[in-house]
Structure 1
Amino acid sequence: MNFELKALSLTQADKSAIDALIVLVADGLASNASGAGSTLAKLIAQARSVGDFETGVGSSLVAYRVDGVKASRVVLVGAGDASAGSVRRAVVAGMGHLKATKTKKVGVVLSLLPEKTGQVRAAVMASADALYTFTTTKPSAKASHVSAVQIGVADEKSVLNEFAVARAAAAGVAFAKEWANRPANHATPTMLANAASKIGRKGVVKTTVLGHKEVTALGMGAFLAVAQGSPEPLRFIVMNYQGGAKSSAPVVLVGKGITFDTGGISIKPASEMDEMKYDMGGAASVLGTFVALAELQPAINVVGLIPACENMPDGLSVKPGDVVTSMSGQTIEILNTDAEGRLVLCDALTYAERFKPRCVIDIATLTGACVIALGGVRSGLFTESEPLAQSLSAAGDVSLDLCWRMPLDDEYAEGLKTSFADMANVAGRAGGSITAAKFLQKFTKNMHWAHLDVAGTAWKSGAAKGATGRPVPLLLQYLVDEAQTLRAEKPAKGGANSKKKKVG
């Protein structure tokens, strides 16, 4: 999808050589608003005067071949209070009228709205989301003909940075959706590693892939235990983006990469097990974030770690009650083989220490308990670091990719105690998302760490089944914010982008 930003008044929109226009109209717009002499302004005024169009969010009116307007189709859409959230809903509604048409280029006109932060980002992200169609294993699917979206604003210069971040985020989300939506036989650990390596071909991302031999040498006993029941070889993916000074500590992103999760010997029920192809949603979000980094090139260093494997039942599979030794040296009694995500993550978190990171953020479709707690609206955020909690929450608010901080009281770890190892991998049903986080916390004592449980937000079920690409927008915004913080602390020297204008 190609996105373009352009200063566009209603009068200019009348004459715009474009296939369709989506014009957002906020509450309280006066009839003599900017561009009142334009054909579009007259159309809006007339439609409102007779009650055919209202400005409630998502209300719409479609017109075809309007005299005086060059575009074939005009869609008027109510944008309510013109907040970023309202703009997102309005653009989705507007695009819904065009997706099935042969429209190729769409203009989204925001010029009439009272300017508010995040409108341009919301319009870009909503357009990409509304027009997305998965076709990799369904070539008969009717993909949208729309290949270009022009965002029309009153003042182009004031939103250039916001637009750049939005465009990068949209590319990252699309990549994350693509790989999360692929069925497991089209997204094996090896395929995932190959996809990561292709991102590295853009020149600003370096990717290294470790196999069974290297992972064994590292002593990643927990990761190996999960992978041993599948004939598909495991892959440990290490990605490195260096946009800041060489001496600057990186942010490390760790994504759970279970490309299919049967539950292992503690096998899951058959119902909806197909959705366990989404159990690599954390890995997909890390890949998507690196696609966005390659596009945006902010002045910050970032490492991505993805432990990728399948969790399958087999004669060689790890059994309930088995005890394994993690890379950290801590032993784990595996009481439930379906609590495998934390096992692959714990070794990756230990590996992250070697980078002496600024902070570590793991992203995982970890627990059904988090879905019960927060549903599909907010991702669960766990961290002891107050600054990290505030920064991630703020990034979620700005990007409309929301999270909610959950507790990490020490008492929640009591259930992880066992007589046969340093810890068990489960602690019962009560507070399941928290006890899972407490397990991971045992491997992060030397780092500033946060855990994002995206089990409720990485994909949707039912009629709208599909990956969401979350939390790529949150992660990218956090990294952009951190780049600004680093620049304020000390100007970067010698980074990959030292001769380029820094974005964010």
Structure 2
Amino acid sequence: MEFNIKSGHPEKQRTACVVVGIYEPRRLSEVAKQLDEVSDGYLSSILRRGDLEGKIGQTLLLHNVPGTLADRVLLVGCGRERELGDTQYRKVISHAIRTLHETGSMETVCYLTELNVRGRDTAWKVRHAIETARYALYSFDQLKSKKNITRRPLRKIVFSVASRRELGIAEQARREAEAIAGGVELARDLGNLPSNVCTPTHLVEEAKRLCNLHDRLTCKVLTESHIEKAGMNALLAVAKGSEQSPRFIILEYKGNEKKDAHPTILVGKGVTFDSGGISLKKAERMDEMKYDMSGAGSVLGTLSAVAELQLPINVIGLIPAVENMPSGKATKPGDIVTSLSGQTVEILNTDAEGRLILCDALTYAERFKPSAVIDIATLTGACVTALGAHAHGLMSNHNPLTNDLLNAGRMACDRAWELPIWDEYQEQLDSPFADMANIGGAEAGAITAACFLSRFTRKYRWAHLDIAGTAWKPMPKKEKGSTGRPVPLLTQYLIDRSCDDGMPPPLPIPMDLGEDE
């Protein structure tokens, strides 16, 4: 798909289709008014007949509109003008793009980017139009013998801005949108792959492929023997029951060569299939456990976007990649392991495995003296119950980091919601036999999972994103699949950091963890 930016009158566009908005009830947008004038009231006469009310989701395709050079004009319902916010705008764009793709318009000039969206400027509208278009046209048919082929697919979209003065900022918005959309699609592809294809080894191959594409990206991989030698026993406990050996992936993006430029670290849960282990899950919807590596996918997608944009910051991605399976070698409920931090964990439920691989990765992160660490994981069903499919659960030990992530989520239309991790919740993790248990009981499951992780993050600024409800859509079948979230939020956060005058210094780290294996 090719995207371009231009400024010009709608009636002068020689294209397969010009797209303009119609507000409810049957009100022409400013650009639609221009077309109505040159066509001697052709659009308004159609609206008066009741062909289009202007509600979001409605479209009307017109051919040979008088006074225009385009083959077609697509009218798109935008709802009530004063109610046009972020979510409504993206819905309008999505409906328009799908209609164009299905009706044979192989190219288009779209004027929906000139709509008035509450509190949003031209750059935001262009960026989200492109991201939404790419998202709407995404298709995963890699493993089908018969591909999803559209006879005359949409190939080129030109988004319009009101004046030539805005072309520069709109072009930068296009660059950001294409990079983010590419990262989202990478995360979606990885999530949608079945677990017999997307194994820990496959994640390694994908990380190396990214490094081959970008000079500033380097990759290091710890194999099972390296992981064991390093002392990551909590991670190994999860992998013991599987024939797939674990991997620990270290991806480093270096965009700032200054010696005092401390990295932001992204830690992604990479459980390529989660059966629950000995604490076996129910058979219903167990196929969705292939998505349990969505945190890892989002790290790879974000680093892809960062490298594409060549942001002037340093970012490290840590991906503990395992498969959680039951077998005669699998970890059993009641087993106790010593984590990389030296803290011991009583594993009461082998299905609470994500926190076990993450705790060792979070300890490993200390050696890089990070400015901030963000872990991303499909961690708890409790977060799905609490927040549903719309917001990521966000918990953190640093209020400014929390605010930065919340703001990035609002800007990216990839929102998070803060949950508390007060000391009172920590008591639920008490164990009579080890330093802590890996579960805290039925109450506040998302919070106690984060409390568990917080015990391994006391030496730096840390935030946890629980994406269990947002990483994939279970239903309906035609929409089932990975969402690629939270790549937009994470990339926006890093874009914001790259615009800062300086990154915050890391917290002091008294503990010497030695050299990398």
Provide TM-score, normalisation by structure 1.
0.91
Provide the secondary structure at the position in 2 that maps to 1:97.
helix
Residues 340 and 8 (structure 1 numbering): CA distance in 2 closer, same or farther, change over 3 Å? farther
Structure-2 change in CA distance of 1:169 and 1:8 (3 Å): farther
| Cα separation, 2, equivalents of 1:226 and 1:75 | 54
Distance apart, 1:373 and its partner CA = 0.1
Give the match for residue 293 of structure 1.
Answer: 306
Q: Aligned partners of 1:168, 1:227: CA distance in 2, in Å? A: 34
1:24 matches 2:24: no
The 2-side partners of 1:450 and 1:165 are apart by: 24
Aligned-residue offset at 1:37: 6.6
Alpha-carbon contact 2:29-2:115 (below 8 Å) kept: no
Hey, what does 1:352 align to over in structure 2?
A: 365
* Counterpart position of 1:157: 168
1:57-92 deviation digits (Å, cap 9, x = unpaired): 332212245455454443211223343322200011
User: Does the C-alpha gap of structure 1 residues 41 and 180 become closer, same or farther in structure 2, counting only changes over 3 Å?
Assistant: farther
- Aligned 8 A contact 1:22 1:106 in 2: yes
Distance 1:197 1:43, change over 3 A: farther
Write the distance in 2 (CA, Å) between the matches of 1:201 and 1:40. Answer: 53
Partner of 2:514: none
The match for 1:482 is 497
Q: Distance in 2 between matches of 1:260 and 1:4?
A: 40
> How many pairs align?
487
**Is the contact made by 2:7 and 2:161 (CA closer than 8 Å) also made in structure 1?**
yes
- In structure 1, C-alpha distance between the alignment counterparts of 2:212 and 2:31, rounded to whole Å: 53
RMSD (CA atoms): 2.2
Question: 3-state SS of the aligned residue for 1:136?
Answer: coil
Matches for 1:406-425 after TM superposition, within 5 Å: 406-425=419-438
- Measured in 2, the distance between the counterparts of 1:340 and 1:39 equals 64
1:9-408 matches, cutoff 5 A: 9-12=9-12, 15-17=13-15, 19-26=16-23, 29=28, 35-36=34-35, 42-66=41-65, 68-80=67-79, 81=81, 82-110=84-112, 112-114=114-116, 116-117=120-121, 118-144=124-150, 145-154=153-162, 155-202=166-213, 203-247=215-259, 248-408=261-421
Q: Does 1:473 align with 2:481?
A: no
Distance 1:69 1:317, change over 3 A: farther
Structure 1's unaligned 5+ residue stretches are 491-504
2-side partners of 1:61 and 1:450: how far apart? 46
Residue 306 of structure 1: CA displacement? 0.5
Letter of the 2:458 counterpart: K
Q: Is the deviation greater in 65-74 or in 358-367?
A: 65-74
Q: Secondary structure at the match of 2:172?
A: helix
User: Does 1:445 pair with 2:458?
Assistant: yes
**How far has the Cα of 1:177 moved from its partner?**
0.4
1:361 alignment partner AA: I
Q: Which residue type is aligned with residue 371 of structure 1?
A: V
- Contact 2:244/2:322 (8 A) holds in 1: yes
Inter-partner Cα distance in structure 2 for 1:99 and 1:366? 37
Partner of residue 445, structure 2: 432
Shift of 1:55: 3.1
The Cα shift of 1:52 comes to: 2.0
Cα distance, 1:72–1:403 mapped onto 2, change above 3 Å: same
Structure 2 residues without counterparts, runs of 5 or longer: 506-517
State the AA in 2 paired with 1:367. Answer: T
Aligned residue for 1:486, secondary structure, equals: coil
Instruction: Return closer, same or farther for 1:70/1:257 CA change in 2, 3 Å cut-off.
Output: farther
